Amino acid sequence: MKAFDDKEKAAEKKFVLAAEEEFKAEARRNKKLAVWAAELMNKDAEESKKYVTEVIMADMEEAGDDDVFRKLKTDFTAAGVEITDVSLRDKMKAFLLEAREEISEGR
């Protein structure tokens, strides 16, 4: 019975660590997205810093990426930046992969 309990605890710990890493990766992705988007919208350094916070907060609205996507798409439209939905989603995926790699490498 102890072996089963040990395996269960190990599996739980592995799950928690994976969830924590994914949370960190998504937060890092959101920061990268915000910096990239702020640059496209010609925001200055102070506005860019504020925008990073706005994008991170937008991700707290609901589970998944749709809240961040909507935030960026709405802001791009308001700023006159043309980008397709596919291009934006591709950029989101690319930044998430980059963030995951950085975290797995300990950066």
pLDDT confidence band for 9 (50 / 70 / 90) = low
The answer to whether residue 106 scores a pLDDT higher than 90 is: no
pLDDT of residue 53: 94
pLDDT confidence band for 7 (50 / 70 / 90) = low
pLDDT confidence band for 22 (50 / 70 / 90) = confident
Domains of the chain, with CATH numbers? 2-104 (1.10.790.20)
Average pLDDT of span 34-60: 95
Selected residue with higher pLDDT from 6 and 54: 54
Selected residue with higher pLDDT from 69 and 60: 69
Locate 58 and state its tokens.
């937008």
Residue of 37, 34, 50, 35 whose CA lies nearest to 81: 37
